[in-house]
């Protein structure tokens, strides 16, 4: 029974460590090619574009990433952020919608 408990504890520890790694936050300005390839919704071409733009200049924020990388929009940015990716340590936060009410009225 002691061996079984030890194996069970080892399995549980490995599982919990694996889960923590899966949800670890990775900054897109420091992510490796392999880490970028691991993002759901990013293919090799988008990974290359991110790396090329980042090499020119690190991304200031999510808006900068969306503006500079073809194929990455607000929905993609939200998805990447939900998967644990950040830009300069910050998760994606969409800009507030502009008010449609007329001023002064």
pTM (2 decimals)?
0.69
* 3-state percent breakdown (helix, strand, coil) of the chain, nearest 5: 50, 5, 40
Structure tokens belonging to residue 79 = 């998805």
pLDDT at 13: 42
Judge whether 47 lies within some domain: yes
Bigger pLDDT: 23 or 80? 80
Range of the domain at 79: 24-93
**pLDDT band at residue 70 using 50, 70 and 90 as cut-offs:** very high
**How many domains, in total, are found in the chain?**
1
Among 14-18, 71-75, 81-85, whose mean pLDDT is lowest?
14-18
Q: Is the pLDDT of residue 24 over 80?
A: no
Environment class of 87 (CB within 10 Å of its CB; exposed 0-12, middle 13-18, buried 19+): buried
pLDDT per position as a tens digit, 25-61: 999 999 999 999 999 989 999 999 999 999 999 999 9
Strand partners, 82: none
Judge whether 74 lies within some domain: yes
Judge whether 101 lies within some domain: no
Average per-residue pLDDT in the chain? 81
pLDDT at 97: 65
CATH of the domain at 33: 1.10.150.320
- Tell how far CA 51 is from the center of its chain: 14
């Amino acid at each position: 029974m002691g061996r079984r408990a030890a194996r069970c504890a080892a399995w549980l520890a490995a599982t919990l460590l694996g889960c923590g790694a899966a949800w670890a936050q990775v900054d897109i300005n420091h992510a490796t090619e392999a880490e970028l390839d691991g993002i759901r919704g990013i293919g090799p071409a988008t990974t290359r574009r991110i790396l090329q733009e980042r090499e020119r200049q690190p991304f200031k924020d999510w808006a900068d990433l969306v503006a500079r990388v073809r194929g990455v929009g607000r929905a993609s940015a939200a998805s990447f952020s939900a998967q644990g990716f950040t830009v300069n340590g910050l998760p994606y936060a969409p800009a507030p919608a502009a008010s449609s009410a007329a001023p002064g009225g």
